[in-house]
Amino acid sequence: MRRTLIRAVEDRGLAARIVATHPVAGLSSGSALLRVGDELWAVHDDAFRVTRISLPSLATSAWVLKDDGRPLPKRDKPDFESAVRTADGMIHLLGSGSAPPRRRIARLQADRSSATFDDRPALYDCVCAALALAGPPNIEGALVEGDRLRLFHRGVGAQPSAIADLPLGSLHDEPPAVLAVAAFDLGMLDGVALSFTDAAGLGGGRCVFVATAEDTPDAVSDGPVAGSVVGLVEARAARWARLVYADGRPSADKVEGIALDDDRRGAWILTDADDPSRPALLGRVELAGF
């Protein structure tokens, strides 16, 4: 399968400023962030658990999806790193695929009436083969684009990040097949390569993404973080702005989730401190140029 290489550039016409942050009680390993009605759903990567955040109050409530919902050791965690909502109202949480316990999909009813789980190793094997990866994939973002499921692979080292399109039915029982792929050189922050960590669709093939510069040798190990960016993919091009605070200081946070406002002038982001003693932060971001 032919792969297009897209080189992202920093664009000073874009801006992403953090204007407020809020610790999320009970959540230390934030991953995906999804807007569901008047709530934000913050997905835990180390537990079968979702923290629901009411807007605008930011009051939280926990939904334990399985067992006791407590954080699990790294070798056992589900590593849910992306979340999408399909037209039938179902929310799907996708494991990263970076280890065997992380190759499952959770299907959640928005009204919290049920949560089911399905191991899908064939889906991740399919993506791995299409991207010609030397190791397992690391799916960190997902969105629905028409009748396609668009997956965002987080590159590491010399392996670039990538987007892979599959039939939307791959979320259910349809045999997975990669329809298109594109590799991305996202550039660097302070000498550390950027890699996808989440994305949100805009329609028409366009999307907003977040990417983090983490100095790590593989898809499982944690490393020092130089910072994060918010970017835009459109028409086989990609550009981004460094995530900064309102006073201009660069953020050194590892941003793992993003949920856009409808007008694209603002967004919510979710961090992962890679430290069980530190709560994840929910950040309010003002956007310009998106």
CA distance 255 to 273: 9
Q: What is the pLDDT of residue 276?
A: 78
CATH of the domain at 225: 2.120.10
Q: What is the mean pLDDT of residues 147-175?
A: 92
Asked if the model's pLDDT at residue 1 lies above 70, the reply is no
Under the banding of pLDDT at 50, 70 and 90, the label for residue 194 is very high
Q: What percent of the chain has pLDDT over 70?
A: 98
pLDDT bucket at 101, cuts 50 / 70 / 90: very high
**Band of the pLDDT at 173, cuts 50, 70, 90?**
confident
* Range 43-68 average pLDDT: 95
Q: How far apart are CA 243 and CA 252, in angstroms?
A: 9
38-47, 67-76, 121-130, 229-238: range with lowest mean pLDDT: 67-76
Please determine, for residue 274, whether its predicted confidence score (pLDDT) is greater than 80: no
What's the average model confidence in pLDDT over 97-114? Answer: 92
Q: Is the pLDDT of residue 2 over 90?
A: no
SS (H, E, C) the chain: CCCEEEECEECCCCEEEEEEEEECCCCCEEEEEEEECCEEEEEECCCCEEEEEECCCCCEEEEECCCCCCCCCCCCCCCEEEEEECCCCEEEEEECCCCHHHCEEEEEECCCCCEEEEECHHHHHHHHHHCCCCCCCCEEEEEEECCEEEEEECCECCECEEEEEEEHHHHCCCCCCCCEEEEEECCEECCEEEEEEEEEEEECCEEEEEEEEECCCCCCCCCCEEEEEEEEEECCEEEEEEEEECCCCECCCCEEEEEECCCCCEEEEEEECCCCCCCCEEEEEEEECC
How many structural domains are present in the chain? 1
212-233 pLDDT, tens digit per residue, is 999 877 656 677 899 999 999 9
Mean pLDDT for the chain overall? 93
pLDDT in tens, 17-45: 999 999 999 998 899 999 999 999 999 99
Binned at pLDDT 50, 70 and 90, residue 54 comes out as very high
pLDDT tier for residue 106 given thresholds of 50, 70 and 90: very high
Residue 94 has pLDDT above 80, yes or no: yes
d(CA 50, CA 47): 8
Does the pLDDT of residue 98 top 60, yes or no? yes
Do 89 and 110 contact (CB within 8 A), yes or no? yes
Give the range of the structural domain holding residue 238, as residue numbers without chain letter. 4-288
